[in-house]
Structure 1
Amino acid sequence: MFRYRTLVRSISFYAQGNQVNIDHLYRYNTGRFLVNEEYELAKRYSPFDIDALCRIVASLPSVNSPVCQVVKKEGGYNKALLMTAENGRMVIAKVPCRNIVPRQYGTASEVAVLRFVKYHSPTPVSEVLAWSANGDNPTRTEYIILDPSPGLQLSEVWDDLEEPQKSILVRKFAELESNLAAVAFPGYGSLYFRNALPAALQESKHRIIDVDETYCLGPMYHGSWPGGFAADPEHYAQFSGPWKSLTALAHDFVNQGIFQIEHYKSSYAGRGPHFGTPEEHIGTLHKAKEVMPLLTELPALERHGGPVLCHPDFHPGNIFVCRQDPTRVDGIVDWQYANILPRFMNVRWPLFLTMGCDAEDGVGQEDAMCEAQRRHEEAMRIKCYEAALVKSHMEPYLDLPEPDVAVRKLFTLCTDTYRDGILPVRDCLVKLFQYWKQLGLSKECPYHFSAAEIAQHEGQWTEYQDWLTLRESTHELLKSNDGGWIPPGVDFEEAKNRHQMLYEHFIRTKTKDMPEKEARKLWFFRERG
């Protein structure tokens, strides 16, 4: 066994193809922000002891060699460090941004999910080599050390695949998803090891539901938990689960939304029209709380309401395929925030089903042909995916009639009125009221909307949809997202200038009908303060 010496200066550090210093590893460098940049960068600044982390990696039995190179690969929530030892062995060290990922809970649950998926399903995931969910260790941070995923990211090879190859990949992916969803759980929540619970759960064993001798379900913490990312998770522990029934889950999801409005008001995302006063939010959510227990009796929810574990973000960058045979899935990465939820909430279309040729701006004949081809290929892939789910005895819950869409959205949106306003939840409530007799429930709808209220809502809903369309177009023009993030490779100064022009045009247009102060609230990016 070698003796590892503390010689960080002998290690080469790289990011985005360039050699960098140690402090660069701790800072966020993958993109810029149009608004609140100082705040967003500070939130993602996560210093730790890189020397201690290198010693831990070097001492692993499967490595047993000093680290000589570290390459930072960064996401919005974590630093992923590709670490190479002198003997050529490579590992991934995943370090969460401490002001974003819930302390202890995020790491403890992610590791439990990775181990569970690896040994209870055919879904290929990386082996966890070492981890700590407590930042009070020599590295001064939580971390997960993993084997790198083999193969290539699907995003690298998708455009080069023939359509029959894509269909094969879609079917295999559906089989993996079905096998994972077939695993039974005794309730809803986040997965943890029974012998490695976060400190607060060790003292409150009544807050867990045993799965087996190794695993249990515990509180579910996620990206929109009340107070934002840096809040104390125990502040809303009474609404975080786990839950043994869909009725209990629905009750607490609504209470999460109410808790957010009562204690933290709203997020800093751009507010749409008719956002609603705090009183309107709470009144709307109380209507949801009344109706959701009744909806759990629906046959569709009885069929599709069982607890399932699904990956939270199936986009092509998280899927690795075999280099020699790109129709074979060799790895699925990024299981952070993977929770056990009702199937009708957890199952969604994988993003790669709708990936196709990208037409350039314009309306030429070639553009129209490409769009028609894209739509045809997308439709065939979706049919292939649905057929594969049925073959795997997993009835799809994706193409839904309007009442079922309203039910699903109500369950998924009621936690987020602080961010999205009251209109999305109210639209679900209006549709359920209108379709109540078709639902076939034994009890009457517990709330009422008059014809005048419905007409007013529909007018506001149309205005809100127009605002969403304009927001999406603005994001496309700026290459941004809801937080004003601009990806690397985009000229940030040009994006800032374009943003200012769009903002000024928006304000000029809106101030024809409202005061400038109200118009500014409708813009898609909000400065803090």
Structure 2
Amino acid sequence: MRRLFTQSVRPFKWSRLSIVFRPGFSRSLHKNWNSVNDFFQYTRGRFVSNEEHELSIRRVKFDMNELARLAADSVGSRECVHIEKFPDGMFNKTFLFTMANGVEVVGKVPNPNAGQPHFTTASEVATMDFVRNVLGTPVPRVLAWSSKAGENSVGAEYIIMEKVTGVQLSHVWHNMGIEDRFEIVKAISGYQRSWSSTSFTKYGSLYYSCDTDYQKECVLVKSDGTHAKEPRFAIGPSTGRDQADHGRVSIDFDRGPWDDAFQYRRAVGLREITSVQSIGDLPRSPLSLYGPDTYHPTRAKKLAALHSYLQLVRYLLPTDKTIMAPFLWHSDLHTENIFVNPERPTEVLGIIDWQSTEVLPLFEHARQPYFLDYDGPSVEGLEPPTLPENISEFSSAKQLEAKRLYMSMSLSALYRNLTYRDNPVLYKAMEFRQTKCFEMMLLAQNLLVDGEALYQASVLDLEKEWPDVPGAQALGNPPFPVRLSASEVRSLEKDVSGAILGMELMADIKNSLGELWPEKGVVRHGQYNDTKTLLNQAKARMHDRLKSSEENCAWEYSWPFDS
């Protein structure tokens, strides 16, 4: 079930927008930087669903002249003479500033959709400091920053930081041999071992003590069980993406900090309930089509699933307290966030993008790094993968495909074996993520968007396994806490059938578009017209199968893509 609700991240790669001012121009001419509209807009691609809204939440106006001046001041330079805009992320604008003395620094401004004002930036800066100076991870040094847009000359939150040396792993990964890839896996596994050597006593996100109302100093727990106080830092409200996406950023609910894993996990359910009740229009599922014969989400059905979750959550938690301890973790280790030495690509020089980092139970973090993900059967246990015995009978193309899959599976197996050997607590957390209990917690945290029918079906399945659920056994084998009537079960069976049909229909459209499929709703500018044409053809095929004008109207109303 988890596979149905998980989408891999495949970052786009586009050229930078570059604006140059020759050395010797007076600073007054730099006001022209504010006239470069693309600096402030989302320019990386086009959205195929609700484009006007998607662009608006990624549009931010600020004083680029002031940001350039502050960037120059941060390194003691006379002026900034060159600005490059990096390809837009989904949540930030990022720029490369080159100074008159040749020094380069990176500036980052969050979009309105990045998270709660102040908290997102303040936590990111404190996290980078902690990870760099306490956990020993290569992270850019912050040179200047402000989390109060109304109190600075830029008119927006910003971070100015060192430019990471080297190149993104994405530039060299596909040309690296298996031995060099092994070395990268070992290096990243080593950093994760460092992160798991220090836990905390609360759950949420990390801040400087002066930047949060939660003034109690941070307490660190070392791997030997000793405690150490870090008065510069404090655990405050979570800045995780789940706290902000799909309209949640403007809704008032408990964002932490929390004292234990149960409090945190219960808050997830209460957050989703508040969001379902408060949001104007329910978000559209990115994984399913709604229309005739498919499932139709309602607030009542979402709330019913969330109430089931709240009744079950204490029993879904692992019984091993070591994997429930709170840890700070990088949750998005893909190839564009890892920088390596181009001459020695096995040498990791930096890890970037610590925005929205959370201090959460270890089992929440314990997945293999995204750069190891692949399409194919997942690796389980510790046994190495093998090539098909009859591979010699395959065509050349099929042999190449099998060998590529074997390499990907081998890297995944290596990561699992390194973790088992050097980081056994993390490995235990990875194993827990394979259980039905974790799958039900994972699905529950996005029920505002989708999954409520399948969640309730999972509840019925869990009832059959109840005597064997470790959490229930540890709490005295109580009766199963959720009760669904016979009529509710019959209605649920219809909902599940409709939900599966809706996902199959969306999967068919995705397959028909191939590489033109709008990952996260966005495509390159040059692909936009072709993508829209194929989507309209898919809609026409849908209409051709319908029997009545009422059904056509229903599909027309529910079609999730812009006309």
Residues 99-146 of structure 1 show CA distances to partners (whole Å, capped at 9, x for unaligned) of 543211110111111011001113211000010000021011100001
Name 2:91's counterpart in structure 1.
77
Provide the rounded CA distance (Å) in 2 between the counterparts of 1:150 and 1:82.
13
Q: 1:41: how far off?
A: 1.8
Alignment of 1:219-234 (within 5 A): 219-225=237-243, 228-229=246-247, 231-232=249-250
Which stretch has the larger CA shift, 282-291 or 342-351? 342-351
Name 1:525's counterpart in structure 2.
561
Provide the rounded CA distance (Å) in 2 between the counterparts of 1:493 and 1:467.
22
Name 2:340's counterpart in structure 1.
321
Residues 338-390 of structure 1 show CA distances to partners (whole Å, capped at 9, x for unaligned) of 11111111222212213599xxxxxx933322221122112211111011112
Alignment of 1:21-40 (within 5 A): 22-40=36-54
Provide the rounded CA distance (Å) in 1 between the counterparts of 2:94 and 2:241.
19
Question: What is the aligned-residue RMSD (CA, Å)?
Answer: 3.0
Figure out how many residues of one structure are paired with residues of the other and give that number: 496
Q: 1:228: how far off?
A: 4.1
Which stretch has the larger CA shift, 449-458 or 404-413? 449-458
Say whether the 8 Å CA contact 1:131–1:143 is kept in structure 2: yes
Alignment of 1:379-418 (within 5 A): 379-394=409-424, 395-397=426-428, 400=431, 404-418=434-448
Provide the rounded CA distance (Å) in 2 between the counterparts of 1:102 and 1:320.
28
Q: 1:12: how far off?
A: 8.8
Alignment of 1:166-245 (within 5 A): 166-197=181-212, 201=213, 205=214, 210-211=218-219, 212-225=230-243, 228-229=246-247, 231-232=249-250, 235-237=251-253, 239-245=254-260
Alignment of 1:431-510 (within 5 A): 431-440=461-470, 441=473, 442-448=477-483, 453=490, 459-460=497-498, 462-467=500-505, 469-470=507-508, 472-473=510-511, 476-482=514-520, 484-488=521-525, 490-509=526-545
Q: 1:230: how far off?
A: 8.2
TM-score (norm 1): 0.85
Provide the rounded CA distance (Å) in 1 between the counterparts of 2:333 and 2:114.
21
One-letter amino acid of the structure 2 residue matched with residue 210 of structure 1? C
One-letter amino acid of the structure 1 residue matched with residue 420 of structure 2? V
Which stretch has the larger CA shift, 446-455 or 471-480? 446-455
State the SS of the aligned residue for 1:44: coil
Which stretch has the larger CA shift, 111-120 or 217-226? 217-226
- Unaligned regions of 5+ residues in structure 2, if any? 1-23, 220-229, 377-393
Which stretch has the larger CA shift, 420-429 or 372-381? 420-429
Say whether the 8 Å CA contact 1:221–1:337 is kept in structure 2: yes
Which stretch has the larger CA shift, 381-390 or 490-499? 490-499
TM-aligned CA distance change 1:494 to 1:463, over 3 Å? closer
Provide the rounded CA distance (Å) in 2 between the counterparts of 1:130 and 1:210.
23
Residues 64-116 of structure 1 show CA distances to partners (whole Å, capped at 9, x for unaligned) of 23100000012111110100001100000001113543211110111111011
TM-aligned CA distance change 1:329 to 1:169, over 3 Å? same
Say whether the 8 Å CA contact 2:50–2:561 is kept in structure 1: no
Percent sequence identity is 23
Name 1:277's counterpart in structure 2.
298
Name 2:407's counterpart in structure 1.
377
State the SS of the aligned residue for 2:93: strand
Which stretch has the larger CA shift, 501-510 or 469-478? 469-478
Residues 21-71 of structure 1 show CA distances to partners (whole Å, capped at 9, x for unaligned) of 5222111111011232222222212111111112211212x3423100000
Q: 1:160: how far off?
A: 0.9
Say whether the 8 Å CA contact 1:27–1:46 is kept in structure 2: yes
Say whether the 8 Å CA contact 1:186–1:307 is kept in structure 2: yes
State the SS of the aligned residue for 1:40: helix
The counterpart of 1:262, out of the listed 274, 277, 290, is: 277
Say whether the 8 Å CA contact 1:433–1:449 is kept in structure 2: no
